Each structure stands twice: as C-alpha cells, then as structure tokens.
Amino acid sequence: MTSLESFLNGDKKVTEPTITMEPASGSFMCQNTECNEIVYEGYIDRSHNKLKWVCSNGHDSAVSI
C-alpha cells in the first residue's frame, strides 16, 4: 500500500521493462513494397510477441507471433 507521504510527494517507483529478444534464423522478405530483399537473420521480441528483421536498406519488418 502506498503511504500518504509518498503519494503527496510524488514518489514513484520506476521499474525497467524486461526486454527479451532471441535470434531467429530463416528467410524473411522485406515488407517494403519497393524493396522485397530477403534477410536471413532476425529476432524474436517476446515482450511484444513479434518476429522482427531489418533489411540492408534499413527497412524494419515484423510479424505478430
């Protein structure tokens, strides 16, 4: 339970988000309609339930898992 003093003084407990990313291998196509490059490395972002990859042109791509 929060104390009245902490509430009135605006004390906030800051917690760091847990970032869990794991490497993923496979073939992933860039989702930019003008690019369509195939990337062979990506990562799984478990905190957002996404598989993500970036092509050599800097385009970010992702799918929900």
At 10 the pLDDT is 67
In a domain, residue 26? The reply is yes
List pLDDT tens digits, range 31-48.
999 998 999 999 999 999
Pairing of strands 38-45, 50-54: antiparallel
The answer to whether residues 49 and 65 touch, using CB atoms and an 8 Å cutoff, is yes
Give how many domains the chain has, as a whole number.
Answer: 1
Laid out side by side, the sheet with 38-45 consists of 21-29, 38-45, 50-54, 60-64
pLDDT band, very low/low/confident/very high, at 20 (cuts 50, 70, 90)? confident
In a domain, residue 11? The reply is no
In a domain, residue 37? The reply is yes
> Model-level pTM greater than 0.85?
no
Range of the domain at 46: 22-65
Contacts for 7 with CB less than 8 Å, ≥ 6 apart = none
- Whether residue 21 is predicted with pLDDT greater than 90 in this model: the reply is no
Region 55-63: mean pLDDT is 97
At 28 the pLDDT is 97
